[in-house]
Amino acid sequence: MARMFQSLLVFTGRVAHGVRVAGFWSLIYGYCLLCSLVALFKLWWSLVLRPTTTLQWHVRDCPPACLCDTSLGTHCYVRIKESGLRFHYVAAGERGKPLLLFLHGFPEFWFSWRYQLREFKTEYRVVAIDMRGYGESDLPLSTDSYRLEFLVTDVRDIVEYLGYNRCCLVGHDWGGTIAWIFAIHYPEMVSKLVVLNCPHPSVFTDYALRHPSQLLKSSHFFFFQLRHFPELMLSINDFKAVKSLFTSRSSGIGRKGRWLTAEDLEAYLYALSQPGALTGALNYYRNVFSFFPLSQKHVRSPVLLLWGEHDTFLEQEMAETCRIYIRNHFRLNIITGASHWLQQDQPEIVNTLMWTFLKEKKDKRS
């Protein structure tokens, strides 16, 4: 009787787990369908009302002059033996100085750190890498090649290749997510962590599930699960949607800071117009619902979290909640007037706050 009861409990548990899993994926793909229908309507509307709308785009063959600016650093390449991938990075500052490593977000590349490369090269070996699938780094074809564990391992391999066993790690957007997870899994390799407009992964997951407003702001996560269609929507009318991300009044760079110049914008379009570039960038999102279990969630390095007041993609309330996952000094600065792209539209403020944090000698407890 006891054995039968135990078997019944096990069976009930498995059924409940199956229902939860089915409900989880039904929610995801149901929301994907809704987002795709909205996008299809927008596409139809633009084609009907704007006959000049074109589904074509052109590949930029010649990089703009700003990408060849020697004041930003030297362009270098490294091939990692374990993954076989070649990575491109821009480095400045003397070798042997402490390593300050920058990880960019979507849909950016190393160029998003141009103001910081110039600023910190006097006292650090500054390195801004093109993450896998971006810029001049290799672009694996398989979607599974962009799983979080591979992206985190890339950072470890690059730090070791550069000849360091520790670094000050800086990440923005997707680069921030990778930076958080890297600091959790390799605490001995992160002396200080700076994250811009990206909450701790556990904070984001918990908050998004409980707040419909953040779920709506994250609707692109679901839309990007589709194949090919998001690439089309981002690239039609010569990347009009991408241009809007960087220049619109609601989400763009320069609300109360520096504007993105025409040449700067062309640099992003040059990188994203290369064959397969958009697919590589979107593959980060296509693995976002693949579980990457964290054996422990706490960060033991000192953390500086910088947040743009007018980020239209993330709720500001998540920033303060990150404090519960830090087992060291934690500092949060909300930058007034800054957008999601705060290191580009408010570089002077970002650099000043980073200098103050990096120069602190002792790790203060929260």
The catalytic residues are 173, 285, 340
Can you tell me which residue has the tokens 């589904």?
Answer: 55
- Distances in Å between the alpha carbon of 15 and those of 19, 24, 314? 6, 14, 35
Q: Give me the count of residues in the chain.
A: 366
Task: State which amino acid sits at residue 193.
Answer: L
Q: How far apart are CA 68 and CA 262, in angstroms?
A: 16
Task: Spell out where the chain has E strands.
Answer: 74-79, 86-92, 99-103, 125-129, 167-172, 190-196, 303-308, 330-335
Spatial neighbors of 51 by CB under 8 A, at least 6 apart, are none
DSSP letters for 147-215: -HHHHHHHHHHHHHHTT-S-EEEEEETHHHHHHHHHHHH-GGGEEEEEEES---HHHHHHHHHH-HHHH
Contact yes or no for 134/98 (Cβ under 8 A): no
Q: How far apart are CA 247 and CA 250, in angstroms?
A: 9
